[in-house]
Structure 1
Amino acid sequence: MFDVAYFLDGALHFVIAFGLACLFLTVFKWLYQISTPYDERALIAANNPAAGIALGGAIIGFALPLASALSVTVSVIEFTAWALLAGVIQIVAAFIVRRLIVRDMAVRIEEGNIASAIYSAATSIGLGLLNAASMTY
């Protein structure tokens, strides 16, 4: 039998969790974009697929640990802490890739280098998977 009160309680938790996750994803996307030396919005508007691929990988790479955090946390504060940690890890890792591993990554993305964008996206997604798995203490 369908219990309306039970459903409404669950739906409220869903709306809060989903809303916070969307908020954190939006904030991460903004922080990630201001942390890069190129303007993703302008590059994507100019039909630069490399910028879209790299940014898309970063978004997925952050969404993965967010999803994991949603499944293992018991409070909004704990979820927020995991989201913050995951975001910092993703942004720092992207910085390390751009500064130490592929030093001309920014130029490559600006020039539309798809191979470099795939590498960047794969790094973000791979790190996000490891980040998510590490949250399952």
Structure 2
Amino acid sequence: MLLESLQGFIPFIAYFALGYVLILTFLFVYTKVTPHCEWRLVKENNPAAAAAFCGTLIGFTLPIASAAINAVSLIDFAIWGVIAGIMQLVTFFLVRLYMPKLSDKIENNHMSAGLFLGGASLATGILNAACMTY
């Protein structure tokens, strides 16, 4: 019975590892695209940056989880992971259109800007995850 339970271990590790790589890759790309440095701001105890970055992280991870559940292969999973990342980047740029000085506000710890970006990213992730339940 134990061996039967462990038969899914290799696929679990493959999907988990790919999911982790997708998340880390997205965070790397996202921090290169945004004008402000999220890592530095969070390390400097900037709550606005932390709220925005956490919302973005969760907003990306939700559709990654949905893609893992629904994927028919690792390639399918990776493709939908890339789509989820693109949608998060689109959200950042749309919020920036609405709030042109978004990065300045986050750097200056304006919580409303950080919370709005984090909330928009989270909302995008929820919608994205729901749409991936094909």
Q: TM-score, normalised by structure 2?
A: 0.96
2:112 corresponds to 1:115: yes
Unaligned runs of 5+ residues in structure 2 are none
SS of 1:37's equivalent in the other structure is: coil
- Give the equivalent residue in structure 2 for 1:32: 30
Per-residue deviation, residues 49-70 of structure 1 (Å, max 9, x unmatched): 1111111110000000001001
The count of corresponding residues between Structure 1 and Structure 2 is: 134
- 1:38-49 equivalences under 5 Å are 38-49=36-47
**Segments of 4+ in structure 1 off by > 4 A?**
none
Aligned-pair RMSD on alpha carbons? Answer: 0.9
Measure the CA separation in 2 of the matches of 1:84 and 1:106.
24
| Amino-acid identity (%) | 37
Unaligned runs of 5+ residues in structure 1 are none
AA matched with 2:64: L
AA matched with 2:119: A
Q: TM-score, normalised by structure 1?
A: 0.94
Measure the CA separation in 2 of the matches of 1:6 and 1:21.
24
Per-residue deviation, residues 63-91 of structure 1 (Å, max 9, x unmatched): 00001001111100000000000101111
Measure the CA separation in 1 of the matches of 2:11 and 2:57.
24
- Give the equivalent residue in structure 2 for 1:105: 102
